[in-house]
Amino acid sequence: MKHLIIGNGIAGISVAETIRKNRSDDQISIISNEEGAPYWRASLSKYILDIIPPGKMLIKPDGWFDQQNIEQIKGEVQQIDGSGKKIHLKQNGTETELGFDRCCVSIGADPISLPIPGNDLPEILAFRSLAQADQLKTAMTSIKNIVVIGGGVLGMEVVELAVANRLNCIVLQRGNLIGTPLVDEHGAEILLRRVTGQDGVHPPCAEVIFGDGIAEFLSENNHLKAIRLQSGKEILADLAVVCIGIAADPSIFKESGLTFDRGLIVDERQHTNLEGIYGAGDCVIYPNEGGDMAPTRTWVTSRIQGKTAGYNMCGIPCLLFDEGPMYNASYLFDLLYT
Ligand SMILES: Cc1cc2nc3c(=O)[nH]c(=O)nc-3n(C[C@H](O)[C@H](O)[C@H](O)COP(=O)(O)OP(=O)(O)OC[C@H]3O[C@@H](n4cnc5c(N)ncnc54)[C@H](O)[C@@H]3O)c2cc1C
């Protein structure tokens, strides 16, 4: 049996690990378009803050893939041919085809960008990959004013980084709550007081501007200088980090025959609408406990989905563990939240 896994994040690795544990002779290949070994994506802030050294960011120790006889392929999957059971892969400018018996798509999701003038300036960053974390880490050492676009929990992680680098920080957030949707209304109030220094204990970390959209990134000599808001107000910005959400890339599914609607649609076995093709992690949408189709996009869920896909790809029937209501626990600044 030839298994092909697209994407080597926690979902893809969990698929590979599960197949190998159950099928010692099957062929397993895992493809990634990212440089370097797979890493703890959810710990990128701690990596930037030097709390986790680079060597501890790896999910698997050096040599693990060889020991497990799992082939690692560097390249970008361009298209999946679902009925032909093959993929089109681009490697160093050359396109090749790879066939499979079973495939799991675990390509994660990409940051959403803002389609407004100036969005291609070099100082407008996203925060998803190790390469972007390195960019952010370097950029923050030589600037004064950072603007965080999007005040969800990812945006709050960037505020923490700004505080560590003693930057002037402004957060732009739609609506009137921060930390949402993971944090509830009461939690959002506590978080806002902590961030703005209104808790009477901590100095302000950032100014938060609610409900004003962004009209334009303003530049000088092709470098970001300020941001014009829809109200007309201009704010100084040496760097902007866009944290307004993520979305699965639909491009590789276009001619695949796979059902895609905001994500690759899978069932409780992580199986798609096409025989032999599975999906796991941030790129999929599956029925939640209420029967609605929803993405969860957390680390542990991606791992559980990867394992579930792996068992089913081996022919061992396995249903996705019902986690109940969507759950997330972490901490922001010194505040623990669940
Ligand atoms: C900064 C940050 C903090 C986070 N904090 C938390 C947290 O506290 N708790 C939590 O539960 N979750 C957290 N998350 C979310 C968590 O990291 C994700 O849910 C999880 O990493 C998703 O894993 P995945 O394997 O589905 O996708 P990914 O880890 O994104 O892996 C997908 C891989 O596929 C590759 N790929 C994409 N397209 C192609 C292609 N066409 N060809 C080849 N390869 C491709 C990608 O480059 C990537 O390497 C955080 C995320 C970030 C960015």
Of 310, 305, 306, 333, the closest CA to residue 320 belongs to 305
Which tokens go with 232? 């007309």
pLDDT (0 to 100) of residue 273: 97
pLDDT (0 to 100) of residue 289: 67
pLDDT tens, position by position, 35-71:
999 999 999 999 999 999 999 999 999 999 999 999 9
**179 Rama class: left (phi>0) / alpha (psi -120 to 50) / beta:** left
Of 114, 108, 105, 205, the closest CA to residue 163 belongs to 205
Kindly write down the DSSP assignment for every residue of 223-278, as one continuous string.
EEEEEEETTS-EEE-SEEEE-S-EE---GGGTTT---BSSSEE--TTSB-SSTTEE
Rounded-to-integer distance, Cα 190 and Cα 156, Å: 13
Strands (E), 82-210: 86-91, 94-99, 102-105, 110-111, 124-125, 145-149, 168-173, 207-210
Mutation probe of ligand 1 site: the residue of 299, 331, 335, 337 with most atoms within 8 A of C-beta: 299
pLDDT (0 to 100) of residue 208: 98
Ligand 1 interacting residues, C-beta cut-off 6 A: 6-12, 31-34, 41-42, 44-45, 76-77, 106-108, 127-128, 154, 157, 252, 281-282, 297-300, 302, 328, 330
Rounded-to-integer distance, Cα 276 and Cα 135, Å: 39
| CA of 76, closest atom in ligand 1 | 42
pLDDT (0 to 100) of residue 327: 76
Phi, then psi, of 149 in degrees rounded to 5: -100, 110
pLDDT (0 to 100) of residue 270: 96
Contact 295, 305 (CB under 8 A): no
Cis peptide before 61 (omega within 30 of 0): no
| CA of 43, closest atom in ligand 1 | 3
pLDDT (0 to 100) of residue 293: 72
pLDDT (0 to 100) of residue 257: 97
| CA of 281, closest atom in ligand 1 | 26
Report the predicted TM-score, pTM, of the whole model to 2 decimal places: 0.96
pLDDT (0 to 100) of residue 63: 96
pLDDT (0 to 100) of residue 93: 93
Residues of the chain with pLDDT under 50: none
If residue 74 lies in a helix (H) or strand (E), which one and from where to where? strand 70-74
Q: What are the structural domains, with CATH classification, of the chain? A: 2-109+248-313 (3.50.50.60), 122-245 (3.50.50.60)
pLDDT (0 to 100) of residue 338: 86
Distance 285 CA to ligand 1 centre (A): 15
Residue 203: count of CB within 10 angstroms of its CB: 6
